[in-house]
Amino acid sequence: MNIPWLALLSLLLKGVAILAFFAVNAMFLIWLERKISAKIQNRLGPMVVGPHGALQLIADTVKLLLKENIVPAEADRLIWWLAPFFVAVPTVAAFLCIPFSQEWIVADLNVGILFICSITSLCVLGVFMAGWGSNNKYSLLGGMRSAAQIVSYEVPLLLSVLVVIMEAGTLSMQGIVHAQELGWFCLKPNVLLAFLIYMISATAEVNRVPFDIPEAESELVSGYHTEYSGMKFSMFFLAEYANLFIISAVAATLFLGGWLGPLRPSVFWFLIKVYGIISFLMWIRWTLPRVRMDQMMSFAWKVLTPLALINVLVTGWLLAGKG
């Protein structure tokens, strides 16, 4: 039997590389978040472990790994155990189609953006499972809120992505980057509006302030992951930050030209754009208060969705006018 060992090995290496990036990136983002919040509040943030607290997260990870895994009484065991995987696995899978550079992409699917959007939608299932399985009213409320929020913000999100797809004429992530070689998409006014809608809905998608009502510390303890501890909690935590990276990477690819940049296009430009967007989202997080649930839902359905629909319509007219 002829087994393609080399191809298998390369696949395995790519998988390991993605998992390593998943973990290291999340750790870096948590450190960055703590540092930015400290800067905004005139504090120093973690300083003791490693230079400027850079190794703090390694200490925290070791602590989380060693912690006890507590199962709440009368929890729905199977659902409770599966939930963290339903959140973490789609997040890792979404990394498959992120174009880090011309060569650095695991699989340039011809439906790349569709794949990312659909697989990250699975996360909401995990979140709701966690809320239901915990047998805790706070978790259940958090899970319900999260489901409502993610499902409604997915509509304007996808409509704004649709504008880019119409402009680029392709669903492949590399194809979208190549379509921007003459100029980034965000320089066109209709795509700029789509960018704005995308950023707002993406912030809601990953449950970040000002749309963090599923987690709302002051109301729901910690929302759907209140009852989780140890490694299961850290899976939620890592997935949260990995999701932040994914929405920023998609935003950079769709609107800001991905790995294209002055001088030589490379992974460097891509990472600069992604971490720039992430820093901006963190800046927003430590500035704005949380919005109310009904305000948030009405904003999604009454403002963002019509705006995105009109935007799609206008883009269609413009493209039809061009021939």
Which CB sits closer to other proteins, 98 or 213?
A: 213
Smallest separation, CB 254 to other proteins (Å) = 23
Which CB sits closer to other proteins, 89 or 196?
A: 196
Smallest separation, CB 180 to other proteins (Å) = 27
Q: Binding segment for other proteins among 77-85, 101-109, 242-250, 279-287 (CB under 8 A)?
A: 279-287
Q: According to CB under 8 A, which one of 18, 47, 59, 318 is a site residue for other proteins?
A: 47
Q: Binding segment for other proteins among 85-93, 233-241, 269-277, 284-292 (CB under 8 A)?
A: 284-292
Q: According to CB under 8 A, which one of 44, 62, 107, 151 is a site residue for other proteins?
A: 44
Per-residue contact string for residues 291-320; x = within reach of other proteins by CB under 8 A: ------------x-----------------
Smallest separation, CB 86 to other proteins (Å) = 34
CB atoms within 10 A of CB 256: 23
Smallest separation, CB 210 to other proteins (Å) = 9
Q: What angle do CA 174, 208, 108 make, to 5 degrees?
A: 15
Smallest separation, CB 46 to other proteins (Å) = 11
How would you write the chain as a 3-class SS string? CCCCHHHHHHHHHHHHHHHHHHHHHHHHHHHHHHHHHHHHCCCCCCCCCCHHHCCHHHHHHHHHHHCCCCCCCCCCHHHHHHHHHHHHHHHHHHHHHCCCCCCCCCCCCCCHHHHHHHHHHCHHHHHHHHHHHCCCHHHHHHHHHHHHHHHHHHHHHHHHHHHHHHHHCCCCHHHHHHHCCCCCHHHCHHHHHHHHHHHHHHHHHCCCCCCCCCCCHHHHCCHHHCCCCHHHHHHHHHHHHHHHHHHHHHHHHHHCCCCCCCCCCCHHHHHHHHHHHHHHHHHHHCCCCCCCHHHHHHHHHHHHHHHHHHHHHHHHHHHHHHC
Smallest separation, CB 208 to other proteins (Å) = 15
Smallest separation, CB 44 to other proteins (Å) = 4
Q: According to CB under 8 A, which one of 70, 288, 310, 313 is a site residue for other proteins?
A: 288
Q: Is 125 in the site for other proteins (CB under 8 A)?
A: no
Which CB sits closer to other proteins, 43 or 63?
A: 43
Q: Is 287 in the site for other proteins (CB under 8 A)?
A: yes
Per-residue contact string for residues 163-192; x = within reach of other proteins by CB under 8 A: ------------------------------
Q: According to CB under 8 A, which one of 102, 283, 293, 319 is a site residue for other proteins?
A: 283
Q: Is 286 in the site for other proteins (CB under 8 A)?
A: yes
Q: Which amino acid is at 59?
A: A
Q: What angle do CA 59, 242, 50 make, to 5 degrees?
A: 25
Rounded distance between C-alpha atoms, residue 142 and residue 153, angstroms: 16
Which CB sits closer to other proteins, 222 or 279?
A: 279
Per-residue contact string for residues 14-43; x = within reach of other proteins by CB under 8 A: ----------------------x-xxxxxx
Neighbour-count burial for 293-321, b at 16+ CB within 10 Å, e otherwise = beebbebbeeebbebbeebbeebeeeeee
Which CB sits closer to other proteins, 28 or 286?
A: 286
The residue ranges that bind other proteins (CB under 8 A) are 36, 38-44, 47-49, 283-284, 286-288, 303
